[in-house]
Structure 1
Amino acid sequence: MGPYWSPSSVGGFLLDWDGVIADTKLDFSGVREKYYGGRRAMLLEEAHTLPPETRKALYRDLRELEMSGAEKAAPVPGAFELISWLTESGTPYCVLSRNCMEVIERGAEVIGLTLPEYVWGRDNMEFVKPDPRALLSAAEKIGAAPRSCLYIGDFLYDLQGARRAGMRAVLVQRENAAWACWADAVYPKMTDFVNAVKNKEELVPWEYREIFAEKGALWLKGAFSCALALPERPLPDACAWLARAAALGVGSFYVDPQKILTPDDWKRNPSFDTALMGLSWRDAASRFLSPRFPLARISVERGGALSAPAEASELKGFMEGKVRGDG
């Protein structure tokens, strides 16, 4: 596997509903004005700040607004084509929305779509996006590892949820959005994305965007082909060292398979989750890298892994001696 990814080869697709499959032209500005004084509040997450009766009224108004949109819904151009490709290719997918299920089901009837096996709205799931637990639960249900999943959405919450869950994120049906920087790729039209999938378009991943811009394709290819051995005492700590090396494009890391993350080790490396204490360093490194640098791998054997500087600040100079860039 190279330092690129293709939306045609991901393990599972999570699709937003409104704006990605169905165009309902919802406008929540009136609801925000009525309940939050026009402030751009997160309508669902901040509902608990309202008095109980006001909160009930908010949910009634949301349902009425969403249902009115469902009654006049139209399919987003390219959405049916994408779903056909997913079905034909055997790629698992689901729908994950902040709309209520009644609205999704009615909208599907209106546009003539058979919904997939797994569909979630705000009322049949414990968490809603952008809470990453919503996306992680959905990935588990469709049998796909989060690092191999792609979320397709048309709004900031979609991208935030994907990034927080360690998934790929594609923004569709938007141009010049201020929050496009959250996405791995932006397609102004869903039909553009479908063409990219069918053509097996390869992209520079979000996590390598900066090093690619600075050093170019030759550097990224060369760095990704390198394997570094995690030093005995990386500085300032293992997490900083791994993050720095991976951000430079390094694709593989050797970690002593016999080494266990002890309580003393954790105290020197507190960015590791406390739940990892007692497990192998290899597991700790893998779980740290997985959501941050999904293409990076922990190598099984030492092999040709290079002994790199223990100081994270010296890694770039070290790598410049091993690879060259074209930027």
Structure 2
Amino acid sequence: MTALAHLKGIIFDMDGTLVDSGLDFAAMRSEMGLKAGIPILEQLVELPQDERRHKEEILHRHEMAGADRASLIDGADRLLEALAREGRPMAIVTRNSTPTTEHTLKRLGIGHYFDIVICREDGPHKPDPWAIEEICRRWRMEVDEVVMVGDYLLDLLSAQNAGCPSVLFTEGKPPEDVEGADIATHIATHFDQLYQLLAPVEDSI
């Protein structure tokens, strides 16, 4: 068995982990007149309703453009196919909107892999542990029986807050250059390493 092959369920972040939509968050903040270095959703919630609605329209435009050009990160399809053959349930937890997420998954033909997809409209979003806890409730699993796989600090914080193991996927970047690497349970710089962490040892990528 590989390091995490004993776990019953796998929860993925979407953008930056399975999918590359090329979103330029600095450009998005600039167009919306938001501060640099602070997540967009956390800034939007503090705004008056009319102003927030206008900026959400800008956000939606950027996200849908990203969904239109999104591509699978190299190796994601092989990993999802292997895990599906193994039969462990998989879920997505994303801070993206439901329309953006549905469009992305449909375009790329990977939506059928996931038992549950939780987007930002569904409840408290990462780093809140709610989504992980809700998935465990639906799967009838304990939180330490699942793993959260993501590319960003908020993914790792949500896992830490829920009490489940996490995998930081860096897509080739040195781990020391990725914020939150110090709190990840495991680190994978490429999909072959992620495969080795998650998939049965007898399988080969």
Structure 1-normalised TM-score? 0.56
Q: Secondary structure at the match of 2:92?
A: strand
Aligned residues: 196
Q: In the TM superposition, what whole-angstrom CA distance separates every residue of 1:42-89 from its partner, at most 9, and x where no partner exists?
A: 221332321221101121111111111110111112212222222211
Q: CA RMSD in A?
A: 1.9
Match for residue 183 of structure 1? Answer: 184
1:22/1:73 contact within 8 Å kept: yes
Q: 1:70–1:107: 8 Å Cα contact kept in structure 2? A: yes
Match of 1:193 in 2: 194
Residue 120 of structure 1 is aligned with which of 118, 121, 126? 118
| Residue 35 of structure 1, CA deviation | 4.0
| Alignment match, 1:94 | 91
Cα pair 2:133 2:143 within 8 Å, conserved? yes
Q: Does structure 1 residue 166 correspond to structure 2 residue 167?
A: no
CA contact (8 A) 1:129 1:135 kept: no
Q: Secondary structure at the match of 1:170?
A: strand
Residue 53, structure 1, aligned to residue 34, structure 2? no
Q: Which residue of 1 aligns with 2:8?
A: 11
**Taking structure 2 as the reference length, what is the TM-score of the superposition?**
0.87
The aligned residue for residue 41 of structure 2 is 44
- Structure 1 runs not aligned, ≥5 long: 201-327
Question: Does the CA-based 8 Å contact 1:32-1:41 persist in structure 2?
Answer: no
- Partner Cα distance (1:140, 1:99) in 2: 22
Q: 1:37/1:119 Cα in 2 relative to 1: closer, same or farther (>3 Å)?
A: closer
* Structure with greater Cα Rg: 1
Is 16-25 or 29-38 further displaced after alignment? 29-38
Residue 143 of structure 1 aligns with which residue? 140
Aligned residue number for residue 64 of structure 1: 61
TM-superposed deviation, 1:162: 0.4
Q: 1:156 to 1:36 in 2, by over 3 A?
A: farther
CA distance in 1, matches of 2:33, 2:142: 38
Q: Which residue of 2 aligns with 1:286?
A: none
Looking at structure 1, the residues matched to 139 and 56 of structure 2 have their Cα atoms a distance apart, in angstroms, of 29
Q: Which one-letter code corresponds to 1:41 in the other structure? A: I
| Contact 2:15–2:21 under 8 Å retained in 1 | yes
- Does residue 22 (structure 1) correspond to residue 22 (structure 2)? The answer is no
8 Å contact 2:34–2:43 — kept in the other structure? no
Counting aligned pairs with the same residue, the percent is: 25
Kindly indicate whether the alpha-carbon contact (under 8 Å) linking 2:17 and 2:150 is maintained by their aligned counterparts in 1: yes
In 1: Cα distance, 2:165 partner to 2:58 partner: 33
> In 2, distance between residues paired with 1:117 and 1:162?
19
